[in-house]
């Protein structure tokens, strides 16, 4: 059936300025890391993306390696761009990244100019796009000069392959260096994509959050729901089909370790009249320190629930203090290696 997006979609979302730039992003963005590979039916992917856009979620985040198999999420999104969003390209912010393993040999991962430019071309082809809105260096490469990685990003913008560039999981010091190099090249660093949620606060302890504010760089927090741990999903055990049962990125032992804290958070969310997912997203966005919370979803209903977070983003000092105490109990940062390099 032909898709016509809701006319009131832009009244259903708030849009935040990405640092000191001209770009605005929705408070909630959608990532296609999981649930967009060959193991998920096309109808589910379509329903998730349509529901997102109907709620004013204009930003879709991809990477070369999202699937499985790697590349298939970009292909699936490319198909939806053709069938559902063809008339809406200028209403969308589509991002992709390169940094993790994509193909064999010395040119298929990390941060060389050779890899980044070739991978960007492959991503554009898979999605059927002339350009992406944001292209990221997915992780810091300790063996490639940062000037080379940032030079490749600059070239990607100047050659028309991307409108803006970003970095992901770089620590505060590396971010300062990347920002300075890009500034000299004349292509500003527009956005940083770090992991951040109630159970993983490395962006605060590392100083990254303050650094981004000081530099006027925007931020989009990935895994804001700790891969589903910060929702009601695991309150009564690990349900069949959930991410923790899929032998992918979420080990069941991590869920079990966190669940005592999650139950306390759920009581707080109920008292606020929100679902736990909504409270976890509101917390990431609190005080305007983060431009957008980048969720994943396995159903349209989850997108709808998450989009509702923007109805209450305020916390009392007492609520914040209680969350601080709970988050000190656990720390789950699966991307610690990349951000500590």
Using CB under 6 A, list all residues that contact ligand NAP.
31-34, 61, 138, 168-169, 193, 222-228, 231, 233, 242-243, 277, 294-298, 302, 305-306, 335
Residue 88 C-beta: closest distance to ligand NAP, Å:
20
Among 99, 119, 37, CA closest to 338: 99
Among 269, 294, 267, CA closest to 279: 269
What is the C-alpha to C-alpha distance for residues 217 and 191, in angstroms, rounded to an integer?
5
Alpha helix ranges (H) inside the chain: 42-54, 72-83, 113-127, 146-158, 172-185, 202-205, 208-215, 252-272, 276-285, 300-307, 317-327, 336-340
Residue 156 C-beta: closest distance to ligand NAP, Å:
17
> Contact, 299 vs 44, CB < 8 A?
yes
The tokens 């000299």 sit on which residue? 184
In this structure, what token pair is assigned to residue 227? 């891969």
CB atoms within 10 A of CB 210: 13
| Interacting residues of 104 by C-beta distance below 8 A, sequence separation 6+ | none
Residue 63 C-beta: closest distance to ligand NAP, Å:
7
The DSSP bridge partners found for residue 28 are 293
Residue 135 C-beta: closest distance to ligand NAP, Å:
13
How remote is the C-alpha of 294 from its chain's centroid? 4
Rg of the chain over Cα atoms, rounded to whole angstroms, equals 19
Residue 167 C-beta: closest distance to ligand NAP, Å:
9
> Contact, 174 vs 140, CB < 8 A?
yes
In this structure, what token pair is assigned to residue 173? 């010091």
Residue 228 C-beta: closest distance to ligand NAP, Å:
3
Among 302, 160, 335, CA closest to 225: 302
Among 39, 123, 38, 126, CA closest to 82: 126
The tokens 């009392």 sit on which residue? 316
Residue 304 C-beta: closest distance to ligand NAP, Å:
8
Residue 295 C-beta: closest distance to ligand NAP, Å:
4
Nearer Cβ to ligand NAP (215/300): 300
Residue 148 C-beta: closest distance to ligand NAP, Å:
20
What is the C-alpha to C-alpha distance for residues 38 and 48, in angstroms, rounded to an integer?
15
> Contact, 129 vs 99, CB < 8 A?
no
């Amino acid at each position: 059936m032909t898709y016509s997006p809701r006319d009131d979609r832009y009244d259903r979302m708030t849009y935040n300025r990405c640092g000191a730039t001209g770009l605005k992003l929705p408070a909630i963005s959608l990532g296609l890391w999981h649930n967009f590979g060959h193991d998920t039916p096309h109808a589910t992917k379509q329903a998730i993306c349509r529901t997102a856009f109907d709620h004013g979620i204009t930003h879709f985040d991809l990477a070369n390696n999202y699937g499985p198999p790697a590349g298939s999420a970009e292909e699936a999104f490319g198909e939806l761009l053709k069938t559902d969003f063809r008339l809406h390209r200028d209403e969308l912010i589509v991002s992709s990244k390169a940094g993790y393993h994509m193909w064999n040999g010395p040119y298929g991962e990390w941060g060389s100019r050779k890899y980044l430019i070739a991978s960007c071309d492959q991503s554009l082809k898979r999605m059927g796009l002339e350009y992406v809105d944001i292209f990221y260096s997915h992780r810091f490469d300790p063996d490639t000069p940062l000037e080379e990685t940032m030079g490749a990003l600059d070239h990607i913008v100047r050659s028309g392959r991307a409108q803006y560039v970003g970095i992901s999981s770089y620590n505060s010091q590396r971010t300062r260096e990347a920002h300075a190099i890009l500034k000299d090249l004349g292509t500003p660093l527009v956005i940083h994509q770090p992991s951040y949620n109630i159970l993983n606060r490395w962006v605060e302890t590392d100083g990254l959050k303050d650094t981004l504010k000081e530099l006027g760089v925007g931020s989009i927090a990935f895994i804001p729901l700790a891969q589903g741990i910060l929702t009601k999903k695991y309150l009564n055990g690990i349900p069949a089909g959930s991410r923790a049962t899929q032998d992918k990125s979420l080990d069941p032992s991590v869920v079990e370790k966190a669940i005592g804290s999650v139950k306390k958070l759920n009581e707080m969310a109920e008292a606020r009249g929100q679902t736990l997912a909504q409270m976890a997203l509101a917390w990431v966005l609190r005080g305007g320190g983060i431009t957008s919370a980048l969720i994943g979803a396995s159903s349209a209903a989850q997108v709808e629930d998450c989009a509702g977070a923007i109805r209450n983003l305020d916390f009392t000092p007492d609520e914040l203090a209680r969350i601080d105490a709970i988050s000190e109990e656990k720390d789950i940062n699966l991307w610690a290696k990349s951000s500590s390099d």
